[in-house]
């Protein structure tokens, strides 16, 4: 069924032409604006590529409101944002101001074909299938089914590209026996005397020559050092031997869903995760006292080397990070 529209119908609103349709100066101006958007988009892409190749992933910059921010990620984000945003703005401006603005009539037909056409189609399919011998050639029919079925399965293999399961990833970190604790930021070895009672510091492991930090390793290796008075601990003898002069070290990744545990309340000696408010009691080896986390933050055993610098006694004895998949409910 078609529906005719009469453009001369006096009931239709009069078409309003844009300024760019009637004024060559306005048209030229709009053209320059569109070009400017596309140039800004290109600059965004160049920034993205530059950041990806030349800005080290370990560099940080102070940004008002955000604080210390990873420069590599910041520039990647800004570059991609500018690239996408301005190409979109340019396309919209182009379409609204410069693309043809004439009104057209779209005749609508019934989507369903008439009955005789449908019957024709069915007859043709049957005729061609018979001609191809699909009914007779059962071998071809079966092998075709097999190949199509396997083609459907092949995308499942791509799931392997997602990498190992997270709990396997988190079983190993760069911490090992004798590895020094380095300040982050700063990359300086740290002594017990550098931390006053009540102080907190973030540290990363010293890596071997030529080994570069990746975002993945930084996320897994980040450790928080907190100094209490030794008598404030309520730890088993073994866990107490993992501390040094009142300094205790925990993985910084929340054992709920992996956010950075970043808030330390000096009065209560609680570590708080800002994501879902899991609260860990530092004197009790980061025991969970509130929130959804299912287990304490893994503790890193520390001591000092011959020069008095803090080192790890051993790797973490349990996976760091989220453990929600271990929960039964
Ligand atoms: S990620 Fe820390 S409480 Fe959820």
Nearest atom in ligand 1 to the alpha carbon of residue 261 is 2
Q: For atom 4 of ligand 1, which residue has the closest CA?
A: 276
The verdict on residue 106 lying in a domain is: no
- 109 with 70: CB under 8 angstroms? no
Residues 180 and 228 in one domain: yes
The per-residue pLDDT for 167 is 58
Candidates 170, 251, 253, 254: which one to mutate for ligand 1, based on the most atoms within 8 Å of Cβ?
254
Spell 143-160 as b/e; 16+ CB within 10 A means b: eeeeeeeeeeeeeeeeee
Residues 145 and 76 in one domain: no
- CA–centroid distance, residue 291 to ligand 1 (Å): 8
Residues 64 and 124 in one domain: no
Residues 38 and 149 in one domain: no
- CA–centroid distance, residue 255 to ligand 1 (Å): 7
Residues 35 and 119 in one domain: no
- How far is Cα of residue 11 from the mean position of the Cα atoms in its chain? 53
Residues 147 and 55 in one domain: no
Q: For atom 1 of ligand 1, which residue has the closest CA?
A: 257
Nearest atom in ligand 1 to the alpha carbon of residue 259 is 1
- CA–centroid distance, residue 275 to ligand 1 (Å): 5
Q: Is the CB of 254 under 6 A from ligand 1?
A: yes
Q: Which domain holds residue 217?
A: 169-326
Q: Is the CB of 262 under 6 A from ligand 1?
A: no
3-class SS of residue 260? strand
- CA–centroid distance, residue 261 to ligand 1 (Å): 8
Residues 138 and 278 in one domain: no
Q: Is the CB of 291 under 6 A from ligand 1?
A: yes
- Residue pointed to by tokens 């570059």: 79
The per-residue pLDDT for 164 is 64
The per-residue pLDDT for 318 is 87
- CA–centroid distance, residue 267 to ligand 1 (Å): 22
Q: Is the CB of 292 under 6 A from ligand 1?
A: yes
Nearest atom in ligand 1 to the alpha carbon of residue 258 is 1
The per-residue pLDDT for 9 is 60
Domain count, the chain: 3
Could you list the pLDDT tens digit for every one of the 329 residues in the chain? 334 445 556 566 777 888 998 899 999 999 999 999 999 999 999 999 999 999 888 888 888 877 778 888 899 999 999 999 999 999 999 999 988 887 777 777 778 888 999 999 999 988 887 777 767 777 777 888 888 888 887 777 777 767 666 656 677 888 989 999 998 887 889 998 888 888 889 999 988 877 777 777 788 899 999 999 988 999 899 999 999 999 999 999 998 888 889 788 888 999 999 898 899 999 999 999 988 888 999 999 999 999 989 999 999 988 888 876 565 44
As a whole number of angstroms, the distance between CA 55 and CA 295 comes to 37
Q: Is the CB of 276 under 6 A from ligand 1?
A: yes
- The residues near 66 (Cβ < 8 Å, ≥ 6 apart) are none
As a whole number of angstroms, the distance between CA 323 and CA 101 comes to 58
Q: Is the CB of 294 under 6 A from ligand 1?
A: no
Residues 215 and 132 in one domain: no
Q: For atom 3 of ligand 1, which residue has the closest CA?
A: 276
Q: What is the pLDDT of residues 186-232, one digit of tens each?
A: 788 999 888 888 888 999 998 887 777 777 778 889 999 999 998 89
**Angle, helix 71-97 to helix 24-54, in steps of 10 degrees:** 160
Give the global pTM. 0.52
Q: Is the CB of 257 under 6 A from ligand 1?
A: yes
Residues 143 and 181 in one domain: no
Residues 81 and 150 in one domain: no
The per-residue pLDDT for 105 is 73
Candidates 256, 260, 289: which one to mutate for ligand 1, based on the most atoms within 8 Å of Cβ?
256
Q: Is the CB of 260 under 6 A from ligand 1?
A: no
Residue 281 sits in a domain of what CATH number? 2.102.10.10
């Amino acid at each position: 069924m078609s529906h005719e529209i009469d453009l001369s119908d006096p009931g239709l609103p009069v078409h309003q032409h844009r300024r760019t349709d009637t004024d060559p100066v306005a048209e030229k101006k709009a053209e320059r604006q569109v070009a400017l958007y596309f140039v800004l988009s290109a600059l965004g892409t160049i920034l993205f590529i530059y950041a990806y190749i030349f800005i080290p992933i370990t560099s940080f910059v102070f940004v008002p409101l955000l604080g210390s921010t990873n420069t590599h990620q910041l520039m990647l984000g800004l570059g991609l944002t500018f690239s996408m945003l301005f190409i979109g703005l340019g396309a919209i401006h182009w379409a609204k101001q410069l693309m043809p603005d004439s009104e057209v009539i779209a005749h609508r037909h019934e989507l369903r074909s008439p009955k005789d056409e449908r019957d024709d189609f069915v007859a043709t399919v049957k005729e061609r299938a018979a001609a191809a011998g699909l009914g007779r050639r059962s071998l071809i029919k079966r092998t075709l089914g097999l190949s199509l079925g396997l083609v459907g399965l092949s995308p499942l293999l791509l799931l392997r590209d997602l990498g190992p399961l997270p709990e396997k990833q988190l079983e190993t970190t760069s911490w090992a026996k004798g590895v020094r604790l380095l300040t982050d930021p700063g990359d300086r070895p740290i002594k017990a005397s550098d931390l006053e009672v009540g102080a907190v510091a973030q540290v990363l492991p010293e890596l071997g020559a030529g080994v570069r930090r990746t975002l993945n390793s930084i996320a897994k290796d980040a450790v928080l050092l907190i100094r209490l008075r030794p008598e404030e601990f309520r730890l088993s003898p073994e866990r107490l031997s993992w501390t040094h002069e009142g300094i205790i070290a925990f993985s910084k990744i929340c054992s709920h869903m992996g956010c950075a545990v970043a808030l330390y309340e000096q009065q209560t000696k609680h570590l708080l995760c800002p994501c879902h408010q899991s609260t860990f009691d530092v004197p009790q080896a980061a025991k969970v006292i509130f929130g959804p986390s299912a287990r304490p933050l893994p503790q890193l055993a520390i001591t000092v080397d011959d020069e008095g610098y803090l080192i790890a006694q051993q790797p973490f004895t349990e996976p760091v990070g989220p453990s929600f998949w271990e929960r039964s409910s």
